[in-house]
């Protein structure tokens, strides 16, 4: 074996060691993320909590506006508004959960397909 062969072998070993220390742990995390059944569940919980919080804040804000201007609702108006808010909230939660589920599944497929740059770089799902 000549000098060039020895140098090339050493370079190959260093490349392999670098891959094992620098890249393999990230790939391992990405595969765990993509294969985990809990990934979708966690994302759905976060989405539902965020959507619910947004609707609840809007209702509180509306109630505060009514109080600020001294406007009061009749029992019928209040019941109607609550029903409309509940329907709106339910529709938003269902839509948000469906979109979240699709996004996470797309992300998992990208990771498993080897599209690491598009897979995890912009995802807030991995920031836990």
pLDDT digits (tens, 9 = 90+) for 89-98: 999 999 999 9
Pair 120, 126: CB distance under 8 Å: yes
Contact 113, 35 (CB under 8 A): no
Instruction: Give the C-alpha separation, 51 to 57, whole Å.
Output: 10
Residues 34-76 have pLDDT tens digits of 778 788 899 999 999 999 999 999 999 999 999 999 999 999 9
Structure pTM? 0.67
Cα 104-108-112 angle, rounded to 5 deg: 170
Q: Where are the domains of the chain?
A: 3-120
């Amino acid at each position: 074996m000549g000098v060039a062969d020895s140098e090339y072998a050493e370079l190959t070993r260093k490349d392999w060691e670098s891959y094992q220390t620098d890249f393999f742990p990230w790939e391992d995390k990405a595969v765990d993320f993509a294969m985990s059944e809990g990934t979708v569940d966690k994302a759905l919980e976060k989405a539902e909590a965020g959507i619910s919080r947004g609707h609840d804040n809007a209702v509180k804000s509306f109630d505060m506006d009514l109080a600020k201007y001294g406007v009061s609702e009749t029992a019928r108006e209040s019941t109607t508004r609550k029903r409309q808010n509940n329907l709106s909230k339910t529709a938003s939660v269902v839509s948000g959960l469906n979109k979240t589920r699709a996004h996470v599944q797309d992300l998992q497929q990208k990771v498993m397909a080897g599209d690491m740059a598009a897979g995890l770089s912009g995802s807030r799902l991995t920031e836990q």
